[in-house]
Amino acid sequence: MAERLSNREGIRGMINPTRYGILRVAYWLQRLSGLGLLAYLIGHIYETSTILNGKTAWANMLSLTETPGGHIVLVIVIGMCVFHTGNGIRVMISEGGKGVGKPGQPEYPYRASSLNSKQRLCIWVSIALAALAMMYGAGVLFGN
Amino acid sequence: MATVTVPEEKKIDESPAAPAEPKPTTITLRISRVNPSENAEAKFEEFKVPVQKWTTVLETILHVKEKLDHSVAVRYSCRQASCGSCGMKINGKPRLACYTKISELESNVVTVEPMNNFQIIRDLAVNFEQLFSTHKKMKPFIINEESEVQPGTKEFIQTPQDLEKFLQFSYCIKCGLCNSACPTMATDKSFVGPQGLAQAYRYTADNRDKGKEDRLKIVDQSHGIWRCHFAGSCSNVCPKGVDPAMAIQLLRGYLLGFRK
**pLDDT for B214 beyond 60:** yes
| Per-residue model confidence (pLDDT) at position A2 | 53
**Residues paired with B25 in a beta bridge:** B51
CB < 8 Å from A in window 4-33 of B:
none
Q: What is the ipTM of this complex?
A: 0.89
- Residue B172 CA to residue B246 CA, distance in Å, equals 14
Where does residue B82 fall: left (phi above 0), alpha (psi -120 to 50 degrees), or beta otherwise? Answer: alpha
| Per-residue model confidence (pLDDT) at position A35 | 97
What's the mean pLDDT in B221-241?
Answer: 95
What's the mean pLDDT in B217-245?
Answer: 96
CA dihedral B135, B141, B144, B150 (to 10 degrees): -150
- Residue B152 CA to residue B107 CA, distance in Å, equals 62
| Per-residue model confidence (pLDDT) at position B41 | 82
Q: Return the SS3 of B87.
A: strand
Minimum-distance CB partner of B168 among A30, A105, A119: A105
Percent of chain B residues topping a pLDDT of 90: 80
| Per-residue model confidence (pLDDT) at position A134 | 97
* A96: nearest CA partner in chain B: B253
- Residue B243 CA to residue B18 CA, distance in Å, equals 46
| Per-residue model confidence (pLDDT) at position B103 | 95
Q: Return the SS3 of B249.
A: helix
Q: Which of A95, A116, A117, A118 to mutate to test the interface with B (most CBs of B within 10 A)?
A: A95
Q: How many CB pairs under 8 A join A and B?
A: 149
Q: Which of A92, A94, A114, A118 to mutate to test the interface with B (most CBs of B within 10 A)?
A: A114
Q: Kindly state whether B160 is in contact with chain A, defined as any CB-CB distance less than 8 angstroms.
A: no
**pLDDT for B7 beyond 90:** no
- Residue A71 CA to residue A140 CA, distance in Å, equals 10
- Residue B71 CA to residue B65 CA, distance in Å, equals 7
Q: How far is A42 from chain B (nearest CA, A)?
A: 24
pLDDT in tens, B172-211: 999 999 999 999 999 999 999 999 999 999 999 999 999 9
What are the angstrom distances between the C-alpha of B22 and each of A22, A126, B29, B54, B60?
Answer: 37, 49, 21, 11, 17
Percent of chain B residues topping a pLDDT of 70: 91
- Residue B46 CA to residue A76 CA, distance in Å, equals 45
| Per-residue model confidence (pLDDT) at position B152 | 77
Minimum-distance CB partner of A7 among B117, B237, B251: B117
* B226: nearest CA partner in chain A: A95
Minimum-distance CB partner of A112 among B181, B241, B258: B241
| Per-residue model confidence (pLDDT) at position B12 | 56
- Residues of chain B neighbouring A112 (CB-CB closer than 8 A): 232, 235-236, 238, 241, 243, 245-246
| Per-residue model confidence (pLDDT) at position A48 | 92
All residues at 6 or more sequence positions from A106 whose CB lies less than 8 Å from its CB, including other chains: B168, B171, B240, B241, B242, B243
Which residues in chain A show pLDDT less than 50? 1
Q: Which of A1, A4, A9 to mutate to test the interface with B (most CBs of B within 10 A)?
A: A9
What's the mean pLDDT in B31-47?
Answer: 89
Domains and CATH numbers, chain B: 25-127 (3.10.20.30), 129-143+158-256 (1.10.1060.10)
Q: If you average pLDDT over every residue of chain B, what do you get?
A: 91
Q: Do B186 and A9 touch (CB under 8 A)?
A: yes
Comparing CA positions, the residue from B126, B93, B132 lying closest to residue A5 is B126
Cβ burial A107-126 (10 Å sphere, 16+ → b, else e): eeeeebbbbeeebeebbeeb
All residues at 6 or more sequence positions from A101 whose CB lies less than 8 Å from its CB, including other chains: A112, A113, A114, A116, B243, B246
Q: Which of B35, B90, B235, B248 to mutate to test the interface with A (most CBs of A within 10 A)?
A: B235
Q: Kindly state whether B56 is in contact with chain A, defined as any CB-CB distance less than 8 angstroms.
A: no
When pLDDT is cut at 50, 70 and 90, the band that residue B100 belongs to is very high
Domains and CATH numbers, chain A: 22-98+113-142 (1.20.1300.10)
- Residues of chain A neighbouring B122 (CB-CB closer than 8 A): none
3-state secondary structure chain A: CHHHHHCCCHHHHHCCCCCCCHHHHHHHHHHHHHHHHHHHHHHHHHHHHHHHHCHHHHHHHHHHHCCHHHHHHHHHHHHHHHHHHHHHHHHHHHHCCCCCCCCCCCCCCCCCHHHCHHHHHHHHHHHHHHHHHHHHHHHHHHCC
